[in-house]
Amino acid sequence: MLILLPPSEGKTAPRRGRALDLGSLWLPELADARRRMLDALTGLCRDEPDRAATVLGLSRTQLDLVDRNAGLCEAPTARADRVYSGVLYDALDAATLPAAARRRAASRVAVASSLFGLVRFGDRIPAYRLSGDATVPGVGSVAGFWRDELGPAVGAALGKGLVIDLRSSMYAGFWRPPAGLVHRVATVRVLHEVAGRRQVVSHFNKATKGRLVRELLEDGADPRTPGELADVLGALGWKVEMGEPGRKGTQLDVVVEDL
C-alpha cells in the first residue's frame, strides 16, 4: 500500500542537521532528476533573486525564502515528517504515532515534492519553497518535469499494492496512473455535508485527511482494492461512498458532518 500525500506550503526549517544527500533519498533512481531541479532552483535564487521571487510567487515580506533556496545544498536537514507542517500534518501528528504505526508510516506514506518528486517520512530534507504550479527556468513546468520522471519509479515501488491518493489537484499532475494500474488506485475526497448540501472546505479537508491517514496507520489494515479500502474506512467509523472506476482510479468520498 502506498499513501500519497500533498506537501505543505509552509515548512519548519531545521536548526541543525547534516547537509542534503540526494543519494540517501527514497527512489534513488530519481537522483539525477532531483539534481537537475535542485541546481535550477538554487542557481535561479542565487543569480537572479528578483526573478526568483516572481517565479516562486513571493511577496516582499517573504524574500528571505529566496536566500533560503539559494543555500539548500548546505542547509541543515531533518526528517520530512518534521519539515512538512500545516493542517494535514498537524492532524496526522506523526511524532505521536504508536511504534507499529510509525513503522507503517515509514514504508507506506510518500509525500509529493516539487523539489524531490516523492519522499518518504524518514528522508532527510531541508526546508524549501517551490510550488507545484511553478515554472523554473532551465527545467520548465514543475508538474510536467516530474510527470516525465515519476511514472516508472512509482510503478516499480508500488509492486502489487493499492495506491491511496490524497494529493491536492496541484500535485496530482506529478504522477497519473497508467491504464494498467488504475484499478489499484483510490482517490480520496472529503466532503462536508450541512443540511443536505455537500462541499469541499480546504482547511477541514486537510485536517480530515490527516486524521484518516493516522487511523489507517494505527489500524494496520492493508487493503488491496478500492472496495477493500472503503470497507476498512467504514469499519473505522467513516461514512464512505464509492464511485465508479475512472482514468484516475476509483473515487472514494468521505462525507463528514462534524469538522
Residue in the block written with cell 526546508 = 127
Question: What pLDDT shows up at residue 257?
Answer: 81
Domain definitions of the chain by residue range: 2-256
Grid cell in block for residue 15: 536548526
Distance (Å, rounded) from C-alpha 8 to C-alpha 85? 6
Grid cell in block for residue 43: 542557481
Question: What pLDDT shows up at residue 76?
Answer: 98
Instruction: With residue 189 as reference, give the H or E element that holds it.
Output: strand 185-194
R_g of the chain computed on alpha carbons: 18
Query: Which regions of the chain are under pLDDT 70?
Result: 201-202, 259
Question: What pLDDT shows up at residue 196?
Answer: 72
DSSP secondary-structure letter at 239?
A: E
Amino acid residing at 113: S
- Residue 5's closest CA among 157, 171, 227? 171
- Residue 166's closest CA among 119, 208, 107, 122? 208
- Number of neighbouring beta carbons within 10 Å of residue 199: 9
Grid cell in block for residue 204: 477541514
**Predicted structure pTM score:** 0.94
CB 78 within 8 A of CB 14: yes
- Per-residue pLDDT of 156-167, as tens digits, reads 777 788 999 999
Bridge partners of 169?
none
Question: What pLDDT shows up at residue 69?
Answer: 98
Distance (Å, rounded) from C-alpha 129 to C-alpha 235? 39
Residue in the block written with cell 464511485 = 243
Q: Is 58 exposed, middle or buried (0-12, 13-18, 19+ CB in 10 A)?
A: middle
Question: What pLDDT shows up at residue 259?
Answer: 59
